[in-house]
Amino acid sequence: MARTKPRSDKVLTIRIPEKDLKRLEAFCIEQEKTKTEVIRSLIQQLEVASVPSIESVPSIES
């Protein structure tokens, strides 16, 4: 069946050094979480005062 509602999640691709990837993977194993779960959690923990409101951030989608 075709999807009738557009997906709200966006895909993020990043480049990081191998050592950072290994640290992330080790942390994920230790915490029994996926990389996506860990990164989402860290983003959600950003201090509100240090981050502009979502409405004021321009979209970079092409």
What pLDDT, on a 0 to 100 scale, did the predictor assign at position 54? 64
What pLDDT, on a 0 to 100 scale, did the predictor assign at position 49? 54
Residue with the bigger pLDDT between 52 and 23: it is: 23
Encode the chain in three state secondary structure. Answer: CCCCCCCCCCCCCCCCCHHHHHHHHHHHHHHCCCHHHHHHHHHHCCCHHHCCCHHHCCCCCC
What pLDDT, on a 0 to 100 scale, did the predictor assign at position 7? 81
What pLDDT, on a 0 to 100 scale, did the predictor assign at position 33? 98
Indicate the pTM of the whole model. 0.64
pLDDT tens readout for residues 16-49: 999 999 999 999 999 999 999 999 999 888 875 5
